[in-house]
Structure 1
């Protein structure tokens, strides 16, 4: 069996197929890791995991499914979502068995990503207004235990487990699938060796970081990588047990982004230069259908510091964007889709003082820098709400009306006009007032990370790639962000990695079953 891509989905597919007895060859364009190694290492899991139990957190598969049903929508069937939730405890155990470390330290405040003191937290909109009434809120963000952004630890442990069971060949760019009588039989690829391979590996490494934050450098390194690939040795590899496409999304492909999600401009492509849609394009060339290609997750987190959840997020008309306690990707989606990508946080003197006090304890280094940048470089300040609106270029009458309606409800103990839960509501009446510009725009200091959520349509029982007519392409599977999955409608932190594990394992198991059937 050939696995294309060595991130979380590819590693999980390789492990399961190899355990089932398949001879597995994993091919990766660069050195492996992909967006997984760059991520925060958060896995969305619940239903009563050991970490939840140790932290004294009650949860159930039914409660997890009730919440996720509101986020997932029609991306997958109710049966698949329930299977995902019912197997969540087992998934965490499986990851732990393969060396991924988790911890039960519960974060006591709402945040987009916990500090190195905490590894279990509310990673979605579970406790936001409109959600907690449908399903009992529970923290389900299981951050891999490791300092900084711990995706590198998550990936390293999975990669080690995969390499112990399967062959892995890096610096190998899969260009196309080979087919015989509508059946996928292998791949054609370009292999780099020697000095060319080492240079190519360096291009991929530095295009990820610091290239992620320096677009000009990333673009140049991408061109160099392509030039090296043109000099590689072409090979054909047979895949009697099938091919699993786990090559990531297409956020690094500007043409595909313009075609499918033209509104999402100015964001930070969260992935590597290998997230260029090559896996999706190969599947389409083989006859595969796609869906949800317009869905992009744009992260506009406003916490930490957690006190920012008590600010007011407004648009250019001075009107509320929505409940500020919702997950950052939900806020980012609304800013892009309905507010021209423009947004400001209204804060007062007291809130700013509390925010500064929370920075040292609630943030990891990059969050601290971003919050300080907002407070210093993206802030417009004035003694009245009317004047701060004028200085920021926001409709003064609209903002004054919004603040008065919010403060009046807060003083009278009435429901917040935007539906924000009471624990996050506070009267904002302590001048001077500031508007912090959190608009989605190109910015290295305060970027808006984005990743694509759509991909190849797959059979939800096997991971086999479907054609437009619903039939399955023999010998072809897809997983992770190359495929439509649990998070293809709406992303919350940890849901993509969890789906990579879920879909990767599924594809690996069923590809190995195909091998068993083929060999009698």
Structure 2
């Protein structure tokens, strides 16, 4: 990226005064950031979250709230669906295709039930109800639906179909405006607060700070144009989201999305990726994208979708 010089890590020896300090600093107060903050605080660390907006939530709070979980979660079992970590792993390996990180998928599938239990223990509610109609997300407060094409060809012949879209229970839901993502974030933010996690809002991450051994020891952030130096004594977590609103990154890594509206929030400018890259981090799968067809099947006539040549092009 053209701003590589301004992103280059700053040497700690050049910092004359630290404005803030914590054991663990988390950049970004969305779903990834709040989960990291909770676990760090429970491990005994003094945790500080830096959030560029004026409140918690990020894109997660505005989303449908789906958490992809399986392997036999209590919600799956309560609703009569059989699933195993092995079955979940088989599906994900097939769905994600070439270049998939097999070790990561194995860990994700085998730890999925524990992930569900962790969310419930931290206050995230799930209603024991299955939404079986096709659609973008449950229009009501049902807690489970198919969300990954598990019951569509060819995957339904590769692994036993099981719904894994777990959706937090949300009262007065309004799809696209007030969905389950809010009830995913709210109880977790409250848990973080109860654990003593500190938060600084309106702070925009700009570059990393490293010591003479190139170990990350802090960050430089900006508040209303003024630089702020924050020291991280035990670790830094980058949880700042995607690059959906960084035009140059879209053009360089995912040109198929040029000219298409992003479903993320404008704060998703790839800063976490860019500062890590300036440190020497490698990138992978930067062209992996998701494009949604906003035609809710339940509002359309049942049938198949064809292109201009009359060819079926999608597994409805």
TM-score where L is the length of structure 2: 0.85
Q: String of CA shifts for 1:114-169, please: whole Å, max 9, x gaps.
A: 12052211111111111111111011111110023110111111111122221111
Pair 1:5-2:53 in alignment: no
Superposition deviation, residue 307 in structure 1: 6.0
Tell me which of 159, 163, 182 is aligned to 2:214: 182
Query: What is the 5 A alignment of 1:330-349?
Result: none
2:25–2:49 contact (8 Å) kept in structure 1: yes
Query: What is the 5 A alignment of 1:449-464?
Result: none
Query: What is the 5 A alignment of 1:333-372?
Result: none
Superposition deviation, residue 176 in structure 1: 0.6
2:95–2:155 contact (8 Å) kept in structure 1: no
Superposition deviation, residue 323 in structure 1: 2.8
| RMSD between superposed Cα atoms in Å | 1.6
Q: String of CA shifts for 1:195-233, please: whole Å, max 9, x gaps.
A: xxxxxxxxxxxxxxxxxxxxxxxxxxxxxxxxxx32xx3
Q: Who is 1:121 aligned against?
A: 145
Query: What is the 5 A alignment of 1:466-481?
Result: none
Question: What CA distance in whole angstroms lies between the structure 2 residues aligned with 1:117 and 1:102?
Answer: 8
1:110–1:306 contact (8 Å) kept in structure 2: no
Q: Who is 2:51 aligned against?
A: 28
1:267–1:298 contact (8 Å) kept in structure 2: no
SS of the equivalent of 2:158 reads coil
Question: What CA distance in whole angstroms lies between the structure 2 residues aligned with 1:79 and 1:278?
Answer: 27
SS of the equivalent of 2:87 reads helix
SS of the equivalent of 2:233 reads coil
Superposition deviation, residue 270 in structure 1: 1.6
Superposition deviation, residue 75 in structure 1: 5.2
Question: What CA distance in whole angstroms lies between the structure 2 residues aligned with 1:90 and 1:170?
Answer: 31
SS of the equivalent of 2:163 reads coil
Q: Who is 2:15 aligned against?
A: none
Superposition deviation, residue 12 in structure 1: 0.6
**Structure 1 unaligned residues grouped into runs of 5+:** 192-228, 325-520
SS of the equivalent of 1:3 reads strand
Pair 1:139-2:163 in alignment: yes
Q: Who is 1:86 aligned against?
A: 110
Instruction: For CA contacts below 8 A with separation 6 or more, give which structure has more relative contact order.
Output: 2
Query: What is the 5 A alignment of 1:285-296?
Result: 285-296=278-289
SS of the equivalent of 1:145 reads coil
Query: What is the 5 A alignment of 1:260-339?
Result: 260-305=253-298, 308=301, 310-324=302-316
Pair 1:58-2:58 in alignment: no
Query: What is the 5 A alignment of 1:168-207?
Result: 168-180=199-211, 181-191=213-223
Q: String of CA shifts for 1:217-258, please: whole Å, max 9, x gaps.
A: xxxxxxxxxxxx32xx32211111121100000001112111
2:133–2:298 contact (8 Å) kept in structure 1: no
Question: What CA distance in whole angstroms lies between the structure 1 residues aligned with 2:216 and 2:192?
Answer: 24
1:173–1:190 contact (8 Å) kept in structure 2: yes
SS of the equivalent of 1:185 reads strand
2:66–2:166 contact (8 Å) kept in structure 1: yes
Superposition deviation, residue 306 in structure 1: 6.8
Question: What CA distance in whole angstroms lies between the structure 2 residues aligned with 1:62 and 1:262?
Answer: 35
Q: Who is 2:192 aligned against?
A: 162
**Structure 2 unaligned residues grouped into runs of 5+:** 1-23
